[in-house]
Amino acid sequence: MAPVRPNRKTAAKSRGTRKAPVRTQSGVEVIPEVSSALAEEAEQGYDLSKAKRRRTGRPSLGGSGPSPRVTFRAGPELYRAAQARARREGRTMSDLAREAFAKYIGDR
């Protein structure tokens, strides 16, 4: 009979290393008691009308609703100049572009 070769799991156990604990999204460590409580709750069913809606992505620039995205191309010289200015002023390229648009349109 050929010798049994250890895989990653058995090798980790034999070295005494442990994986990081599994946690819920809120940070609670999932121990057997928590796992049982979560399973029981799931078996009873969820009332989704009481669920909190989570928004994903970046916050809106206008306060409410999504912020439209504006994409444009620039020549290499303009791009490098904008990068250098943003770096010099400690700002992002997006911030620079928003300011330029606002000045051009007349909002600032």
Residue 24 lies inside a defined structural domain of this protein:
no
34-44: average pLDDT: 87
Q: What is the pLDDT of residue 94?
A: 92
Q: Give the residue-averaged pLDDT of 60-79.
A: 86
Cβ within 8 Å of residue 19, ≥6 positions away = 12
Higher pLDDT, 26 or 97: 97
pLDDT exceeds cutoff 80 at 55: no
Question: 22 in a domain, yes or no?
Answer: no
Average pLDDT over residues 86-94: 95
Q: How many domains, in total, are found in the chain?
A: 1
Does the CA dihedral 40-42-48-52 come out positive or negative? positive
Tell whether 88 is covered by a domain.
Answer: yes
Nearest-CA neighbor of 8 among 67, 90, 17? 17
Residue 77 has pLDDT above 90, yes or no: yes
Query: Is 80 within a domain?
Result: yes
Domain assignment present for 99? yes
- The pLDDT, as a whole number, for residue 17 is 63
Residues spanned by the domain of 83: 76-105
Q: How far is CA 21 from the centre of its chain?
A: 21
Confidence class of residue 3 from pLDDT cuts 50, 70 and 90? low
CA distance 47 to 35: 20
